[in-house]
A and B are shown apart, each in its own frame.
Chain A
Amino acid sequence: MTSMCFYFQVHQPFRLRNYSFFDIGKDHNYEDLEKNRAVMNKVAEKCYLPANRKMLELIRRHEGKFRISYSLSGTVIEQFEKYRPDVLQSFIDLANTGCVEFLGETYYHSLSFIHSRKEFKRQVEKHSAIIKKYFDQTPKIFRNTELIYNNQLAAFVESMGFKGVLCEGVGRLLNERSPNFLYRPVIGDPKIKLLLKNHLLSDDIAFRFSDKGWEQFPLTVDKFSEWVFKIAGHGETVNLFMDYETFGEHQWESTGIFDFLDHLPGAILKHPDFCFKTPSEVVEAYPARDVYDAHDFISWADTERDLSAWLSNSMQREAFRRIYSLEEEIRNCDDLQLTEDWEKMQTSDHFYYMCTKFWNDGDVHKYFSPYDSPYDAYMFFMNAFSDLECRLAEIRERKKRIYSYTVELEKTPEARSIPLNGNEPEYAQTGS
């Protein structure tokens, strides 16, 4: 029996507004509220709602045989709460069918694993908590931001209790082997299993579906299922991983993508040797057949399938380095708003917008960017970062003042009875 394993990524970042130098120290709101709301509403109408309706209908039509999985970032869930609770409800309805699995990821869809295991763990736990809260599931399978992955990541999330990890089936690592089996990472004695994206079949739907220049255009359900059926006998799981926005947003409804989706499960299930499984079920059902050695980071982004979409130029690296340089101080500042603002700035999209690879993939970056240029993206980010630094410095000063006042009180026992009423000696107000 060969299974087809669908995973859809659902994510929206909190985009930063055109934060100018003159805002530093004055305006602590970094978000482009209008833009974020507008994008959320647009995607909700074009993709999330109609696609969720279709999925629910398919699950019911096939009486539980059509099974899928999602990964929802924490930031997109927050935006559902804020702008579109109806979309959140439609995901809850899907969860209630019992045919849908929700995967684990970092709450802020961040690059934190690259810099700090501590921060990474914190974000994964925060994410698990919100998934549990809304969907009553505890994620067992992990997928990192944009499928960023290496051996260490597998080891680390295994230690956190995950049973499987999703990653990209990169040609240079597979070395002619098939992505349609489970693999194991190159670490001590792994129990954790790897699900590799079949990028040909995935991208046929996600990218090439409406490409009139593609020799296989138009893509029909018959044609696609024929390709899938060829795997019978030499593959155990066909992993189709893609952005959920493929349905209705990247591929508009007029391309026929929803019709394709409507007919696909029926066509696949007609074949007696094929079924649908969620990632957890795949991991349960099959053994790992070989090792998959990702010594360096891989991802599903751009043609390089590495970190270059986020960390290839000096601006990206500087912004990345700066934001994580505050980690320790932020974690000790006891200011919830500040902490949250910092966390939101870790979202990988901010670094993606700063990318200056101006060839093929540059167009993709441009399509997603809310800014005129990568340079703008960097400037606004760094200005906002400067404001964040100012706020931290203020807290530092305040703590120092309180500390010196306490020290002073210790020295003069009789002063202990004086209440703090704003008439404290000057050193206590200004610091010394």
Chain B
Amino acid sequence: MLGWEFPPIINGGLGVACHDLSAAMSDVSDITMIVPKSSKGYKVRNVNLLGINNIDPGSLEPGPAHKDLPFKLYGVPANIDPYYSEKQHFSGEGRSKGTLDPFDIDNLYGGDVIGKVHRYSAITASLAAKMDFDVIHAHDWMTMLAGMQIKARTGKPLVMHIHSLEVDRSGPESKGWVYQLEKKGMEYADLLMPVSNFTASNIEQYYGIHRNKMKIVHNGSNKVQPFKGQRTYREKTVLFVGRLTRQKGPEKFLDIASKVLDSNPEVRFVMAGTGDYMKSLLDQSSYQHIGNRFHMTGFLGSERLNHLLSISDVYCMPSVSEPFGLSAVEAAQFRVPCVISKQSGVAEVLRGALKFDFWDVDKAAGYILHLLKDDVFNRKVVEDTGKCLDKISWDISAQKIIDAYSEKKFI
């Protein structure tokens, strides 16, 4: 299994998902997870965790790089940093000229990320060449090149787990290097595992790959012990959690807030997260005269985030394009009613949640207003959403993956 961000380096949902999924799978199969960085003492259940920061690249035999790949990847700079960090510098392929360079893994998405992807794949391919395994399971574009190289060298079946696509992050027009890599990678793979129907449709629509090559595996979620926190102010609270980037629809949240406050001024809207939209959101919120009801907390650790969930009255996720949306499941676990966009994967599994098209601000505002004043309705939504939670587990996801392997006769 090939991963990129991984605890203790977590930037977003991907690290958590890879961690939890590999842990669940390690109960029913032998898993070796290769990631750019891991702490030496860090253990994940029965997973054989390899951080290439702990491997001396000099001890590995360099592979033939891209020679065996049936296509060429052209170097075109792309907007690939899904997170809020410094601008990356582009470097083309061909960094590994007979030697394997170690690379700076402290900032997985900053700096020369494409160079990092190349080096990761070269090192990983050499590592895998000496291993015994049945299936290559790669997570998202950062590890696709590695997966392809391993397949090219070993002939083993390649499964690509799709947590997020370039078209989610940068919009359907993006056709840069990452998009090309994703497209070639998914075409070259033997089986795709998108995390939702929503993502499967995007793969079909924007990458032209047929559904029969896909097996949908919804994300699971770890059970949390919900608690009820003490609010220190009297207004009810509507919460947004996520990066403040285009993909998450933060400006929609602002418009919804404005609408809700028009009819009910006794509500506070809180955004937990950071990103390049922060400044314009503050500007807009003051322009719309809701500055006293619109709060930003910046990036929060899990303890503070749980506290925030425990005092929230509505969770709102207006994502423009959300492959899954684990944070909504977490909110549901805290018995917070969820108002989420239809353009999300989680909408397929949280059936009880209230759903709206991300552009339909009126509808979302209507739901929120109703949840805030109608206790019967509120309880019903929480109850119905709660019923879906039992079916959202990593063990179920793991079993689905194993079943798909056997169905395809990979194992």
Contacts and interface: CB of A to CB of B under 8 A. Distances in A.
Interface residues of B, number: 24
B291 A21 contact: no
A26 interface: yes
B291 A318 contact: yes
B232 A21 contact: no
B279 interface: yes
Nearest to A317: B286
A345 to B, nearest CB: 13
B278 A375 contact: yes
Contacts of B283: 313-315
B233 A379 contact: no
A386 B292 contact: yes
B286 A315 contact: yes
Given A21-B270, A317-B286, A318-B286, A385 B232 contact: no
B292 A389 contact: yes
Contacts of B28: none
Interface string B261-285: 0000000101000000011001111
A53 B287 CA distance: 48
Interface residues of A, number: 25
Nearest to A389: B292
Contacts, number: 63
Interface in A333-381: 375, 378-379
A393 interface: yes
A314 B285 CA distance: 9
A385 B292 contact: yes
B295 A386 contact: yes
Interface string A313-335: 11101110110000000000000
A321 B270 CA distance: 21
Interface in A16-41: 20-22, 24-26
A142 B49 CA distance: 74
A390 interface: yes
Contacts of A386: 233, 268, 292-293, 295
Q: A interface, by DSSP: helix, strand, loop or mixed?
A: helix
Interface in A129-178: none
Given A21-B296, A375-B279, A390 B234 contact: yes
Contacts of A21: 270, 295-297
A317 B289 CA distance: 9
A315 B307 CA distance: 28
B286 A314 contact: yes
Nearest to A394: B234
Given A314-B283, A315-B282, A22 B297 contact: yes
Contact of A378 (B234, B268, B282): B282
B304 interface: yes
B291 A382 contact: yes
Contacts of B297: 20-22
Interface string B206-242: 0000000000000000000000000111100000000
Majority secondary structure of chain B interface residues (helix, strand, loop or mixed): mixed
Contacts of A237: none
Interface in A367-412: 375, 378-379, 382-383, 385-387, 389-390, 393
Contact of B295 (A314, A321, A383): A383
Nearest to B280: A375
A385 to B, nearest CB: 6
A20 B293 CA distance: 14
A375 B282 contact: yes
Interface string B69-108: 0000000000000000000000000000000000000000
B282 to A, nearest CB: 5
A314 B280 CA distance: 11
Nearest to A397: B234
A21 B270 CA distance: 9
Interface centre among B287, B291, B294 (most CB of A within 10 A): B291
A378 to B, nearest CB: 6
Interface string A292-313: 0000000000000000000001
B270 to A, nearest CB: 6
A149 B293 CA distance: 33
Nearest to A386: B292
Given A315-B283, A317-B286, A319-B286, A25 B291 contact: no
A389 B232 CA distance: 12
Which 3 pairs show the lowest CB-CB distances between chains A and B?
A25-B232, A318-B286, A25-B233
22 contacts: A21-B295, A22-B297, A22-B304, A24-B232, A24-B295, A25-B231, A314-B283, A315-B283, A317-B286, A319-B286, A319-B291, A322-B291, A375-B279, A375-B282, A378-B282, A378-B291, A382-B291, A382-B295, A386-B293, A387-B233, A390-B232, A393-B234
Given A25-B232, A386-B233, A390-B232, 19 more contacts: A21-B270, A21-B296, A22-B297, A22-B307, A24-B233, A25-B234, A315-B283, A315-B286, A315-B291, A318-B289, A319-B286, A319-B291, A321-B289, A322-B292, A382-B291, A386-B295, A387-B233, A390-B233, A393-B234
